[in-house]
Amino acid sequence: MPWNIDRFVDCLKPFATQDKISGLIEDCGKIDLSSSPIKKAEYTKRLMDNFERQFPEDVQIKVMESCGRRCTGASTIEKAKRIKRNAQNLAELIDGLNKQHIGGGKLKLENNKINVEYGKCYCGMVSKTKERFSSTYCNCSRGYLLELFEQIFEKPVKVDLIESVIQGAKSCKFIIHI
């Protein structure tokens, strides 16, 4: 399921009153999930700009990370776990994930860390934007990778955002510390 405003609101509820959430959403105007990709990106940019002005950075990270965790599909996690069960080692796991295009299909193992690279932004809410976004939004992708790899390894992992397309880079890059 693609990122959407309802998921964002649900993830924000532990950190804000309903009045504050309603105000944040109303300040951004209206959006419909059937809107054009450009309209979705414009709306999401307004939402993120307002969100950053109204909430501290730690809340921004937690909310967007939570959105990304919810975006990680159960079928993807099950497929990844099946690949892990059949892999003899970490290199085979990475190879299997790449063959199934799980985690972007360009995972590379280096010094017991997994380098992730996406050649494009996969998020349907922002992928068509020409404007730069702050890295706050990319915590959604961090959350997706956190959920995926924590489920695969059955332990906490750390994910660092290195760069992203919506920040002006040619690709999105993350490092997963396992």
Q: Using the predicted structure, report yes or no on whether residue 130 has a pLDDT greater than 60.
A: yes
The CATH classification number of 5-177 equals 3.90.1520
| pLDDT tens, residue by residue, 29-72 | 888 778 888 888 888 889 999 999 999 999 999 999 999 999 99
> Cβ–Cβ contacts within 10 Å for residue 57, how many?
9
Whether the pLDDT of residue 2 is over 60: the answer is no
Domain ranges across the chain: 5-177
Instruction: Locate 50 and state its tokens.
Output: 């307002």
Q: What is the pTM assigned to this prediction?
A: 0.92
Rg (CA), the chain: 17
CA distance 34 to 39: 10
> What local confidence, expressed as pLDDT, does residue 18 receive?
95
80 compared with 39, residue with greater pLDDT: 80
